[in-house]
Amino acid sequence: MHPIQRFLFPFFALLLLAACERAPTLPRLGADDIVLAFGDSLTYGTGAERNEAYPAKLAGLTQRVVVNAGVPGETTAEGLQRLPAVLDEHHPGLVLLCLGGNDMLRRVPASQTENNLRLMLQTLRTRGIKVVLIGVPEPRLFGGAPDFYARLAEEFQLPYEGDILNAVLKDNALKSDPIHPNAAGYEAIARQLADLLKESGAL
């Protein structure tokens, strides 16, 4: 090997390694692209006014239409059934998927929750719709988001936000009750998601 090649080889190897470890990216959202926030009460905005829910705050931060498709109390099984009709109605360019908390509260097996989320992600992939996955923390004192969220994000190569809900729900100043944020909490969620969208290239 030529001396210059020996010098350059480690450099290119590092570049290749960095490319492999780079976080998943998203195509840039057009000015008219619709973002669909799909989830349960955490998306709906329970604990705050409707215009203080994270989708409304995110719309202001991103200057994009963000549809609030949150249904309080919804499980992943119910979300799986509802998703196709919502997609047909709004034709989003990007979906923010945040479900699973009600499964945990109802003690649905984690494997079932994971599979329902996987089926939703497969539906979105089939339609060519990009996704950001949001992890929901377990409803216990030191609960973070279950591992299956990160596993699904890796499987589908999705931008993943697994920390913000856990951080908000550990801070009494940011929540309205043990499992729901208040207006300040929803704004914190919106700001973190806006940052993630910028980092991933969507904005």
* CB-CB contact of 56 with 66 (8 Å): yes
The stretch 34-58 carries a mean pLDDT of 98
| pLDDT confidence bin for 69, thresholds 50/70/90 | very high
For residue 15, what pLDDT is reported? 41
Choosing from 40, 103, 180, 200, the catalytic residue is 180
Choosing from 40, 41, 103, 200, the catalytic residue is 41
pLDDT tens-place string over residues 97-115: 999 999 999 999 999 999 9
Mean pLDDT of the chain: 91
177 is catalytic: yes
180 is catalytic: yes
Tokens of 185: 């909490």
| pLDDT confidence bin for 10, thresholds 50/70/90 | very low
Choosing from 91, 147, 171, 177, the catalytic residue is 177
Residue 19: is its pLDDT beyond 50? no
Per-residue HEC secondary structure of 100-163 comes to CHHHHHCCCCHHHHHHHHHHHHHHHHHCCCEEEEECCCCCCCCCCCCHHHHHHHHHHCCCEECC
The stretch 66-72 carries a mean pLDDT of 98
| pLDDT confidence bin for 22, thresholds 50/70/90 | low
200 is catalytic: no
pTM of the entire predicted model: 0.88
For residue 141, what pLDDT is reported? 66
What structural domains and CATH numbers belong to the chain?
32-200 (3.40.50.1110)
For residue 140, what pLDDT is reported? 78
Q: What share of the chain is helix, strand, coil (3-state, %, to 5)?
A: 55, 15, 30
For residue 143, what pLDDT is reported? 75
